[in-house]
Chain A
């Protein structure tokens, strides 16, 4: 099983600032990585797939990068609606998720 590890567990950011979230795979997953956003009481929402492609309707302030074992999700200028938990998911083999990073208001 490919283990996905996200860091940090919690990220405190002020509105308008940039947020950088990391995700590491225990073995290479090429570019087969997705990012999701989840707000309390809601289902997750797909943000990024293929490591860097924004899903339909996702604002340009969300960007993904990386390949192999190291990946980054960057939120360019945090809006109030961006405070949520973010999960990475490897899509190279049987899917596994990271443990999540909570982005909270500083």
Chain B
């Protein structure tokens, strides 16, 4: 069965960076895009970007340009999301999610809470 397992919760200080991992299993890793979506406490869903594990090409939402980097490791079927220059507003649960065809998200990781606090 398809599974996306994410790394654990993190606490970071303002200005720091965080790297969240997402390890896929149960399907061919390179056959599906992977997305990152975040959700601030009590708020809605915000799309951050997409990576094509087959080749590693990426596209990021405008509001994250310059601060986010998505990468993948084909040997471990893992994608990574690196967010820099953290501020308190970045406190959120970060989800990875598989793109069914490209944009619809059919499988989600369990989420990783990132708390930014001084």
B104:A46 contact, CB within 8 angstroms: yes
Instruction: For residue A98, give the distance in angstroms from its CB to the closest CB of chain B.
Output: 7
Closest-by-CB residue of A relative to B49 is A94
Could you say which interface size class chain A belongs to?
20 to 34
Q: CA A98 – CA B46 in complex, angstroms?
A: 9
Whether a CB of chain A sits under 8 angstroms from the CB of B9 is no
B44 contact set on A, CB distance < 8 A: 87, 97-100
Contact partner of B47 (CB less than 8 A), chosen from A49, A50, A55, A97, is A97
Question: Do A44 and B46 touch across chains, with their CB atoms under 8 A apart?
Answer: no
Chain A residues numbered 13-47 whose CB sits less than 8 Å from any CB in chain B: 32, 34, 36, 43-46
**Complex partner residue of A43 from B46, B47, B109, CB under 8 angstroms:** B109
* B28 at interface, CB cutoff 8 A: no
- Residue picked from B95, B108, B111, most chain A C-beta under 10 Å: B108
Interface status of A1 (Cβ within 8 A of chain B):
yes
Chain B interface size band reads 20 to 34
CB of A1 within 8 A of CB of B105, answer: no
List the A side residues contacting B95 at CB < 8 Å.
Answer: 43-44
Asked whether, in the complex, the Cβ of B100 is within 8 Å of the Cβ of A46, the reply is: yes
Q: How far is the CA of A44 from the CA of B15 in the complex (A)?
A: 29
Instruction: Flag if B105 contacts A97 (CB, 8 Å).
Output: no
- A94 and B45 within 8 A (CB): no
Interchain nearest-CB distance for B38 vs A (Å): 11
Option from A95, A99, A100 in Cβ contact (under 8 Å) with B103? A95
Contact with B along A31-75 (1 / 0, CB 8 A): 010101000000111100110000110000000000000000000
Instruction: Supply 13 A–B pairs (Cβ within 8 Å), ascending by A.
Output: A43-B97, A43-B108, A46-B105, A46-B106, A49-B101, A55-B106, A56-B106, A89-B103, A89-B105, A91-B104, A94-B62, A95-B35, A97-B44
Residues on B lying within 8 angstroms of A by beta carbon are 35, 44-47, 59, 61-62, 95, 97, 100-106, 108-111
